[in-house]
């Protein structure tokens, strides 16, 4: 079964003509770890890196 969509936390599979399977995970990102410094505006940084913050 090949995914029809694959993202950071979600994959969608075409199971049959009228059914989809959606698999979600809790993947760890660099921001989930304890870092020695605080990252100011880390949400903005993440969105910019993923392209979601691009205009």
Q: In terms of pLDDT, which residue wins out, 8 or 16? A: 16
pLDDT digits (tens, 9 = 90+) for 19-34: 999 888 766 666 566 6
Please report which helix (H) or strand (E) contains residue 45, including its range.
helix 42-50
Q: Where are the domains of the chain?
A: 3-50
How crowded is residue 46: how many other Cβ atoms within 10 Å of its Cβ?
16
Question: Is the pTM here over 0.85, yes or no?
Answer: no
Average pLDDT over the chain, rounded to an integer:
75
């Amino acid at each position: 079964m090949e995914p029809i969509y694959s993202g950071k936390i979600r994959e969608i599979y075409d199971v049959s003509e009228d059914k989809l399977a959606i698999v979600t995970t809790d993947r760890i990102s660099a921001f989930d770890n304890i870092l020695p410094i605080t990252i100011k505006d880390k949400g903005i940084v993440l969105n910019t890196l993923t392209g979601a913050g691009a205009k």
